[in-house]
Amino acid sequence: MGKTFTEKVLGRRAGKDVQAGEVVSVSPDYVLSHDNSAAIIKEFQKLGVEKVKAPEKIVIVLDHIVPAADEKYAQNHKSIREFVAEQKIPHFFDINAGICHQVLPEQGFALPGLVIVGSDSHTPSYGALGAFAAGIGRTETACTWATDEIWLRVPETMRVDLSGRFRPGVFAKDLSLKLIGDHGAEMANYKAVEFAGPAAGELSVGARLTLANMSAEMGAKNGYFAPDATALKWLEGRARKPFAPVASDPDALYESVLAYDLDALEPQVACPHTVDNVKPVAAVAGTRVHQVLIGTCTNGRLEDLEAAAAILRGRKVHPSVRVLVIPASWQVYREALASGALAALVDAGCVILNSGCGPCLGAHEGLMAAGEVCLSTSNRNFQGRMGHRDSEIYLASPATAAATAVAGIIADPREFA
């Protein structure tokens, strides 16, 4: 019997033959953390060691509250900068870089066959490029800094076979919401999700990043796309170190297999207050919104901003709506400046914010008052996440967000072609 990608990559790292269900101890290629590094440093200091074991493996990206919104956040950032200098951590990205889940792929850390752990739940994003990447907690991040070692349970794998093509107005975000709506927010709890089938190879790297990112909302430990010519071409000139891609064996044992035909898909919206409360856009069209957020680690890439600009170009944001746009990274910011997408969005009346997580996690930059509604391209719509506990969040694609921004009510992007 063959093995899945995840069994092979964790087995290679553990130096033995492993299968799903086993617990292995591995030395990761990279350990990611962000603003929460301030809290991780405090845990690290309780361990009684002076130095991190492998500074070159630590990647720290300030992205959650950038620039600092108040003096507490400023103090956190300061303590992180001091720790980075003192420990000689070479891979540090300050407030002018972007969201970690965009920065790591762009900067060539997310590579096929690597093992990456991150103190952030959306770390599975890097599976888009064929890495094993899983989210971990703060205490274990501190311990991994000290030991260069972490325990991982080798997950079973769910495969999602994709066929067909997205129709106009339909995107990877719609597919991810449809999957979660059909199967529930714990559809892949403790598991790996491998996206395969003829349509997987047709998807852009951006679309793959969206799907691997949203595998976290399926409960998955990691998401995965086999690294193909599209992925390898995207990595040209970016890769930080040599890598050896790993793919599932043709006769690998999957825990389950789902099949989705992209041709049959319509724009989807996740309704308050769970990501699996998903309806076709038609079922919620007409719902009044006060704010639209276009950005985040799920949908803040160039192709997302372009999709929004295609609808907003030559149109105006509805007077009763405020629209926040956050390019996922400074690289995306520059590309969107050059392509004209940002100009179109500004001309339409959107507010452009510094690359980072923005209001997604509810700490700054556009929180909502009681009774307000936001349609967001982010990944979570839990009660109170983006402000008052009596505010509401709908999740959708950047195109649906742009259509909604123009209409002032939730709208179908296919009507704005």
Q: Give residues in contact with other proteins (CB under 8 A).
A: 23, 35-36, 38-39, 42-43, 46-49, 64-65, 72-73, 76, 119-121, 135-140, 142-143, 146-147, 151, 153, 185-186, 189-190, 219, 221, 274, 276, 361-363, 380, 382-385, 389
Peptide bond between residue 67 and the one before it cis (omega within 30 degrees of 0): yes
**CA–CA distances in Å: residue 333 to residues 24, 329, 343, 356:** 40, 6, 11, 11
CB of 374 to other proteins, least distance (A): 14
**Beta carbon nearer to other proteins, 16 or 389:** 389
- What angle separates helix 37-44 from helix 138-147, to the nearest 10 degrees? 60
DSSP code per residue over 17-34: ---TT-EEEE--SEEEE-
Closer residue to other proteins in complex, CB, 36/230: 36
Contact 129, 110 (CB under 8 A): yes
In the three-class reduction of DSSP (H, G, I as helix; E, B as strand; rest coil), residue 329 is classed as strand
Output 103 or 402, the one with its CB closest to other proteins.
103
Q: Which is nearer to other proteins, 24 or 351 (CB)?
A: 24
Give dist(CA 166, CA 94) in Å, integer: 37
Q: What single-letter amino acid sits at 331?
A: Q
Q: Minimum Å distance from CB 303 to other proteins?
A: 26
Pairing between strand 268-270 and 278-280? antiparallel
Residue 170 or 177: the one with the smaller Cβ distance to other proteins is 177
Nearer to other proteins, 96 or 121 (CB): 121
Instruction: Give me the least distance between CB of 410 and other proteins, in Å please.
Output: 22
Instruction: Name, in order, each residue with C-beta under 8 angstroms of 338's C-beta and a sequence gap of 6 or more.
Output: none
Cβ(231)–Cβ(257) below 8 Å: no
Residue 413 phi, psi (nearest 5): -60, -20
Least Å distance, CB 284 to other proteins, is: 20
Closer residue to other proteins in complex, CB, 270/345: 270
> Which residues, at least 6 apart from 175, have a Cβ–Cβ distance to it below 8 Å?
162, 166, 211, 260, 262, 265
* Nearest in space to 282 (alpha carbons), one of 271, 293, 266: 266
Q: Cβ closer to other proteins: 149 or 263?
A: 149
Rounded to 10°, the helix 302-312/341-348 angle is 40
Minimum CB distance to other proteins smaller for 41 or for 246 = 41
**What's the closest the beta carbon of residue 112 comes to other proteins, in angstroms?**
23
**Separation between Cα atoms, residue 180 and residue 188, nearest integer Å:** 9
Closer Cβ to other proteins, 79 or 96, answer by number: 79
HSE-CB for 192 with a 13 A CA cutoff: 34
CB of 239 to other proteins, least distance (A): 27
Give the nearest distance from C-beta 146 to other proteins in angstroms. 6
| Cis amide linkage into residue 273, ω under 30° from 0 | yes
CA 31 to centroid of chain Cα atoms: 16
CA angle 388, 330, 414 (to 5 degrees): 65
Q: Is the dihedral of CA 360, 363, 368, 370 positive or negative?
A: positive
Shortest CB 221 distance to other proteins, Å: 6
Q: Please report, as a single letter, which amino acid is at residue 343.
A: A
Closest contact distance (angstroms) between CB of 380 and other proteins is 6
Q: Shortest distance, CB of residue 140 to other proteins, whole angstroms?
A: 5
Based on CB atoms, which residue is closest to other proteins, 51 or 88? 51
CB of 320 to other proteins, least distance (A): 26
Nearest-angstrom CA–CA distance, 269 and 181:
9
